[in-house]
Amino acid sequence: MDQAQLNWLTNFIWNIADDVLRDVYVRGKYRDVILPMTVLRRLDAVLEPTKQAVLEMKAALDKEQITNQDDALRSASGQAFYNTSPFLLRDLKARSTQQKLKDDFEAYLDGFSPNVQDILTNFEFRHQIPRLSKADALGMLIEKFLDKDINISPFPVGEGSNIMPGLDNHSMGTMFEELVRRFNEDNNEEAGEHWTPRDAVRLMANLMFLPVADKIESGTYLLYDCACGTGGMLTVAEETLQQIARAHGKQVATHLYGQEINGETYAICKADLLLKGDGDAADNIVGGPEHSTLANDAFRSREFDFMLANPPYGKSWKSDLERMGGKKELKDPRFVIQHAGDAEYSLITRSSDGQMLFLANMLSKMKHDTPLGSRIAEVHNGSSLFTGDAGQGESNIRRWIIESDWLEAIVALPLNLFYNTGIATYIWVLTNRKPEHRQGQVQLIDATQWFKPLRKNMGKKNCELAADDIQRICDTFLAFKETPQSKIFPNAAFGYWKVKVERPLRLLSQLTRPRIETLRYASGDEDIRAALYDQLGDALFENPASVRPQLEQLVNDYGQGDSEPDDDEGESSTKKSLPDAKKKKLLSDASWKRDAQLIATATQLREALGDGLFEDHNVFLERVEVTLKKLGLKPGAADLKLIINAVSWRAEEAPAVIKKIHKPGKAQPDPLRGLFETKIDGKTCLVEYEPDSELRDFEQIPLLEDGGIEAFIRREVLPYTPDAWLVEADTKIGYEVSFTRHFYLPPQLRTLAEISADILALEQETEWLLSEITGGVAE
């Protein structure tokens, strides 16, 4: 069948929706009927020649009470699928009543093999039958697909000069993909969820295969897509590999594997492969809502030669994380690995965006013992380049990839290339068999300006990669040379140390009554406790049991009679009652007694030490310690800290607070690392200072920094904060990729001559306008 005939046939089926379903569904629901009916009609036509043989085999198997019948029935049908009902679609045309047609059609569906049942279930096609029957549209729909003017079967039909050619598997698959594309574009917002534009897929396939085109040998190759959608990436990749192999005189066999969580999309993918006659590939596609790639890996023990995907980005994977036991319990070897001396190196990203976990999943399936290893092409948005701090999942994945020297290139794509997003997107190209000239390096390609505009937008998509654009990108990739659009960097250029920099805590202290009084509500919920104290008085602290009934009533009623403005409308709304946990704490006698004891202890300290200002917090702490012993008071460490914090405040001019004094000879001075020499009681001592959390800072230092961390700190930190020190134990390594930094071109400023010319032109225009207003009379 030539292309014109194929286009005509596609249009005919496309128009069935408007002809039959216009009064039954809204337009967006047409595909829920047309796509499964297209599949059914093709399968029905393919099975027709062997229908009787299947029925006879079925009867024989039943007679012998054989339960596992699938292989025998497939053999009888000569296909990877079969139907054991007594009907073909043409047998259902002449049913006398709607109910009879509905019953027989359902029996016909029930006769299909399990793999087709899986497709129908995920299409949810059986849910459509009652509606079609009630609208008296089911019979008309079947008749349209059996129209004598079309031929969806693989066999020629007709007589003499009116013979219509058969539709081979490849043409059938092409037609089905075209229908899917049209329905997706008809519903643009949803299209991009499961349908990657073919121009982007062709580019990904070329980036994956071209570097090893001359190394592909005759043999079998496994292709994998972990978020396969409708299967377009797999089929385009397969076609590209076959073309390259033929061009190099090789014969290759390909096996496709995919996983897809969306049921309908999975059904489309599996149906497409069945229609193309690839039953084995259809069996290797796993999907449906229960088959999340992250939480339920369908190919745990498999490794693949080539992998590509367009995973969901910017989407939560929280439900998957919970099914996997949460961050603390997650031990999946795909996401908790060994790297950089860490036996539990975590690749677990934020639960709000799991796109990089799909990449980690594919990296776990690389072949490490074959000449070609594995090659990967995957689409991501910009967040995969830089989100995640050093030591967090996203950064750890980038670090693992780059330090393993697997990242060949990242290609920045044009904006608005995809149906459902206009944001920046990037293709990551990875391999565990980098050629020698690429080893230790990463190529960044800015292809954002290489595209052709579309005449009509398709959702957010307003441009495409034409054949010459794809060729230009691939040529740039293969050339591996520095150009304005191609930058090459050593791996370490993307890494950095995240270094914690501390400064000493400096405090003044004073045991004043107002500061001590703040301890009255040290247990928290100050506003609520203050309101309760206003009503119940000192009894709350001195004998809370005596006011227990009133306290319970006040706590239970708190806020219920009040109202507060609504954020959206400005109208008042009733406050909610207090949470049970907060109620329990407010009703706890121990919390009130604790706060009373804090005030009592602080008051005794004030009486002993006075309310004078302590300008050296170290002296204050010593005096407090001595006084507590003298008074026989033993507050807990947490309570003592509350008292100290309540009567102390930060002051730049105060001496630094000493955390530890080292014994002589046990350590050497090292101010850069927090070991300072100072005089205490006239003696030189080596001390560590208490860090001030409010002055804590973090420096991001490139791994390629000349002189390393120490040189950077001495040059960029100590001249401005000479009392700062770094905490080496908390240093972490992170990786990020900044396209903006490497490809940004500042706007070119106009010359003075151009500015002067513009000013002169404006002056002349102003004079002309003034002349028009005044009638040409000069002032």
pLDDT tens-digit profile of 302-319?
999 999 999 998 889 999
Q: Is residue 90 scored above 80 in pLDDT?
A: yes
Q: Is residue 605 scored above 60 in pLDDT?
A: yes
The β-bridge relationship of strands 461-464 and 285-287 is: unpaired
Pairwise CA distance, residues 281 & 552, whole Å: 68
- Give pLDDT, residue 192: 47
Of 188-192, 350-354, 433-437, least confident by mean pLDDT is: 188-192
Answer left, alpha or beta for residue 427, where phi above 0 means left and psi between -120 and 50 means alpha: beta
Pairwise CA distance, residues 380 & 407, whole Å: 14
Q: Is residue 565 scored above 60 in pLDDT?
A: no
Of 134 and 174, the structure prediction assigns the larger pLDDT to: 134
The predicted model gives 321-331 an average pLDDT of: 92
Burial of 393 (0-12, 13-18, 19+ CB in 10 A): buried
pTM of the model: 0.84
Of 659 and 314, the structure prediction assigns the larger pLDDT to: 659
For residue 703, give the H/E element and its range.
none
**CB atoms closer than 10 angstroms to residue 368:** 9
Beta bridge partner(s), residue 733: 497
Cβ contact 346:336 at 8 Å: yes
- Give pLDDT, residue 93: 77
Token code pair at residue 249: 């005189």
- Give pLDDT, residue 265: 86
- Give pLDDT, residue 778: 47
pLDDT tens-digit profile of 170-215?
788 788 878 887 887 776 544 445 568 889 999 999 999 999 999 9
Residue with tokens 């009116």: 162
Pairwise CA distance, residues 695 & 684, whole Å: 27
- Give pLDDT, residue 179: 87
- Give pLDDT, residue 561: 59
Token code pair at residue 175: 């037609």
Pairwise CA distance, residues 731 & 700, whole Å: 10
Give the C-alpha distances (Å, rounded to integers) separating 367 from 151, 306, 343, 632.
44, 9, 22, 71
H-state helical runs in 324-374: 326-329, 355-363
Q: Is residue 465 scored above 80 in pLDDT?
A: yes
Of 635-649, 650-664, 709-723, 748-762, least confident by mean pLDDT is: 748-762
Q: Is residue 596 scored above 70 in pLDDT?
A: yes
Confidence of residue 4 (pLDDT cuts 50, 70, 90): confident
The predicted model gives 622-642 an average pLDDT of: 95
Burial of 266 (0-12, 13-18, 19+ CB in 10 A): buried
Q: Is residue 447 scored above 70 in pLDDT?
A: yes
The β-bridge relationship of strands 306-309 and 486-490 is: unpaired
Mean pLDDT over all residues of the chain? 91
Pairwise CA distance, residues 34 & 132, whole Å: 12
pLDDT tens-digit profile of 573-588?
555 688 888 889 999 9
Token code pair at residue 68: 């596992």
- Give pLDDT, residue 134: 93
- Give pLDDT, residue 575: 56
Of 183 and 334, the structure prediction assigns the larger pLDDT to: 334
Of 56 and 164, the structure prediction assigns the larger pLDDT to: 56
Pairwise CA distance, residues 623 & 614, whole Å: 10
Residue with tokens 């002449």: 94
Q: Is residue 96 scored above 80 in pLDDT?
A: no
Pairwise CA distance, residues 418 & 261, whole Å: 20
Q: Is residue 123 scored above 60 in pLDDT?
A: yes
Q: Is residue 73 scored above 90 in pLDDT?
A: yes
pLDDT over 90 percentage in the chain: 70
Cβ contact 462:419 at 8 Å: no
Of 65-74, 182-191, 459-468, least confident by mean pLDDT is: 182-191
Name residue 522's amino acid. Answer: A
- Give pLDDT, residue 189: 46
Pairwise CA distance, residues 194 & 186, whole Å: 14
Name residue 767's amino acid. Answer: E
Torsion angle defined by CA atoms of residues 500, 503, 509 and 513, in that order, rounded to the nearest 10 degrees:
-40
**CB atoms closer than 10 angstroms to residue 207:** 25
Beta bridge partner(s), residue 452: 464
The predicted model gives 540-550 an average pLDDT of: 89
Beta bridge partner(s), residue 697: 501
Pairwise CA distance, residues 284 & 270, whole Å: 9
Pairwise CA distance, residues 475 & 485, whole Å: 12
| Centroid of chain to Cα 517 | 50
Instruction: Select from 732, 727, 667 the least CA-distant residue to 701.
Output: 732
Token code pair at residue 133: 């029957």
Give the C-alpha distances (Å, rounded to integers) separating 155 from 1, 48, 171, 519.
11, 10, 13, 90
- Give pLDDT, residue 154: 87
- Give pLDDT, residue 340: 94
Q: Which residues contact 174 (CB under 8 A, 6 or more apart)?
A: 6
What length does the chain have?
779
pLDDT tens-digit profile of 144-174?
999 988 898 888 887 767 788 888 887 887 8
